[in-house]
């Protein structure tokens, strides 16, 4: 499956392979944030596809996602509805990074190796 393109896609995504509902909720929230930001970009007639952007992005060394000065990353974070600690935000963004770079099947495989 490719990255979800609608909120319904995210809501219907099977993330049951993850250990707990909270982790699933954080991943879904990050995906919803990307979709919402993509919609806003389209309204601004921007050529940026946020999924594609994130698949090519790597945070600055020593800063990670938490202290990123990248405007797209900041906008993704601002679109999230789940309250995050620095740790959960970093974890969520790293999970999204893996999904955008390697795909959902690789993400699933990482959890099913146990």
pLDDT number for residue 3:
87
**Residue/partner pairs of 38-44 with CB below 8 Å, 24 or more apart:** 38/5
Domains of the chain by residue range: 16-112
pLDDT in tens, the chain (114 residues): 578 999 999 999 999 999 899 999 999 999 999 999 999 998 988 889 999 999 999 999 988 998 999 999 999 999 999 888 888 999 999 999 999 999 899 999 988 875
Q: What is the spatial distance between Cα 113 and Cα 76, in angstroms, rounded to a whole number?
A: 29
């Amino acid at each position: 499956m490719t990255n979800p393109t609608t909120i319904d896609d995210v809501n219907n995504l099977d993330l049951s392979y993850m250990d707990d509902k909270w982790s699933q909720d954080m991943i879904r929230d990050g995906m919803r944030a990307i979709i919402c930001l993509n919609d806003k970009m389209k309204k601004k007639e921007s050529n940026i596809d946020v999924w594609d952007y994130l698949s090519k992005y790597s945070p600055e060394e020593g800063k990670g996602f938490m202290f990123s000065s990248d405007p797209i990353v900041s906008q993704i974070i601002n679109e999230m509805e789940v309250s995050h600690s620095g740790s959960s935000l970093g974890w969520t963004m790293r999970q999204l990074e893996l999904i955008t770079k390697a795909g959902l099947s690789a993400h699933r495989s990482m959890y099913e190796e146990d």
